[in-house]
Amino acid sequence: MNDRGDSNVRAADLAVSRKMVDRSTADRALHLLDARDSQISLGELLLQLGHINADQFKELMAAHHASALPADTAINESQLFGEAVISRGLATPDQVNDALREQAELAGKGTFKNLGELLIVKKILTSDQVKGLIHEQDQVIMLCPSCGEKYNVLKQWMGKAKCPSDSSLLAEIQTSASVGVAARAELASAQADVDQAMANLHQAEANVKIKQGALDKAKADLDHCRITSPVDGEVISRNVDVGQTVAASLQAPVIFTIANDLTKMQIDANVAEADVGAVTVDQNVDFSVDAFPSRTFHGKVVQVRNAPITVQNVVTYDTVIGVSNADLKLKPGMTANVSIIIAHKDDVLKISNAALRYRPANAPTPERPASGQNRGGAGGGGSVGPRATGRTVYVLRGGNAEPVQIKTGISDGTTTDVLEGLGDNDRVITGQLNAPNTAASQQQGNPFGGPRRFP
C-alpha cells in the first residue's frame, strides 16, 4: 500500500474512534477510493457522501494531520494543544499534565476524550476558549500538507501566539508555509503539462488509427480493381476490351469465358418427348460432327433433365452426354448428330428398311398393325426396342416376287433385325427399276431421295 493509502486508513480509524461514522461505512469509503484510484482524501469523500458535516470534517482533518507528525518528536495532538494552552496562560503545566494522564488512562480503557473536553470538565477552560483554540489549530493544520512542515507550523502556533486574539497569527503561519505553496504550484503546473502531453499522445494515436483505416480501405479498393478468374483453364472468348469500364448492376457482366478442361466435354442433346422414355443414364452414344464427317465419336449419357424445352409446340428434353476429348479435336459450340444406343445385338440377320416398305404393283394392301406395334424403323422413332413384330417382305424366287411373313427385332432406322422367316441366302426385294405405274414407284422408295437418317 502507498503513502496515500496509509493516510486514508489512519483517517478512517480516527473517524471511527471519534464516532463520526461506523466501521462498515469507513471500509466502504476506503474500497471506493481504491476502486476509483481517486486523488481525494477519505475525509473529503465522506463529506461529499454526506456521512460527516463541515465541522466534523475540520475536526477529522486536524486530528489526522496531528497523528501524521514524525514519530521521533514524541508530540501528539493533545500535547500540542496542551502546550498551546500553557503558552497562552490559560492553564498551569500541572493542570495540563493531570488532564493528559487522565486522557491516557481513559484511552487504555477504550474511551477517548480530547484534552479540551477534559479541561472543560475540570472547569479549567470554558467551552468558548476550547472552541477558539481548536478553530485556530484547524486553520493552521489545513495550510500545511507535509508532516514536517505541519510540525514546524504547529510549534510556531503553539509558542508565538500568546492569546487567542493575536491577529498576526495566520499571517505568520502563511508566510512560513509560502515555500511549500510555491512548490505545490510548480508541481500542479508540471502535472498539467504531463496531462496535456498525454492528451496529445492519445490524439496522435487516434489519428494513426484513422489513417490506418483509410489505408486499409484504399488497399481494398485497389484489390477490387483486379478481377481474378475463379478457375484455371483456357480462355474461350473475351467480351470486353482493354480500358473498358466494367459495371455490375443487377446482373454481373461476362468478361471472359473460360474452359476449365477441354479434354472433358459434354453435349446437350434435345431428345423428343416420344423417345425420352427409352433414354437412361450410362447408355452409350455415337455421334458425329460436321468438321469430321467420316469419324464417329463416342460418349455416355450423364443426365436426363426434367425441364421441358418447347419450340414451336415441339417438346424436347435436354440430355447431357459426357465425351472424352483427349486429342482436342472437338471444339466448344460444334453441332453434333447424336445416336443414343438403347439396344445392341451382335451376329444377327438384318435387312434394309427399304425391303419393309416395298410392295409390288399387283399386291393387296397390307393390314395396318395394331396400335402400339413397332413399325420396324419405318416410323420416326429411330431405334426401337427388342419387341418382335410381324411384317411382310417380298423374296425373289424363280423370277417372281413371293411374299414372306417375318418377325423383326430392333432397328437403327436404316436396317432392321430379322428374327424369323428369312435365311442367309434369301434375295429380298427392296425396289423395282421399271415401275408399271407412278403409284407403285411412289410406294417403293423414299420421295426425298433415299432412306431416312436419324441423328
Q: Are residues 167 and 26 in the same domain?
A: yes
| Within a domain: 240 | no
pLDDT the model gives residue 69: 47
Angle at 99 between CA 97 and CA 101, to 5 degrees: 70
pLDDT the model gives residue 230: 84
pLDDT the model gives residue 95: 86
- Placement of cell 514524541 in the chain: 74
Q: What is the count of structural domains for the chain?
A: 3
Question: Residue 281 is part of a domain; what is its CATH number?
Answer: 2.40.30.170
Instruction: State the distance between the two ends of the chain, measured CA to CA, in whole angstroms.
Output: 98
Q: Are residues 292 and 156 in the same domain?
A: no
| Within a domain: 190 | no
Cell output for 271: 431428345
Residue type, 49: L
pLDDT the model gives residue 450: 47
Of the three residues 307, 340, 373, the one that is the final residue of a domain is 340
Q: Are residues 357 and 328 in the same domain?
A: no
| Within a domain: 156 | yes
Q: Are residues 320 and 356 in the same domain?
A: no
| Within a domain: 211 | no
pLDDT the model gives residue 205: 95
| Within a domain: 254 | no
| Within a domain: 210 | no
pLDDT the model gives residue 416: 92
| Within a domain: 335 | yes
Cell output for 104: 491516557
The mean pLDDT values, 10 residues at a time, for the chain of 455 residues are 64 81 85 70 79 79 58 53 80 85 76 79 85 72 49 52 44 54 74 91 95 94 83 85 75 83 92 92 94 94 95 94 93 92 89 90 64 40 56 88 91 89 89 62 48 47
Taking each helix axis from N to C terminus, what angle separates 42-49 and 54-67, rounded to the nearest 10 degrees? Answer: 170
Q: Are residues 332 and 422 in the same domain?
A: no
Domain that holds residue 319: 263-340
Q: Are residues 364 and 334 in the same domain?
A: no
Contact 374, 389 (CB under 8 A): yes
Strand pairing of 400-411 and 389-397? antiparallel
Q: Are residues 136 and 161 in the same domain?
A: yes
pLDDT the model gives residue 223: 86
Q: Are residues 37 and 158 in the same domain?
A: yes
Residue type, 405: Q
Of the three residues 283, 311, 340, the one that is the final residue of a domain is 340
Q: Are residues 305 and 391 in the same domain?
A: no
pLDDT the model gives residue 148: 43
Of the three residues 306, 340, 374, the one that is the final residue of a domain is 340
pLDDT the model gives residue 116: 80
pLDDT the model gives residue 29: 83
| Within a domain: 41 | yes
Q: Are residues 100 and 130 in the same domain?
A: yes
| Bridge partners (DSSP) listed for residue 311 | 314
Q: Are residues 296 and 387 in the same domain?
A: no
pLDDT the model gives residue 139: 63
Q: Are residues 330 and 402 in the same domain?
A: no
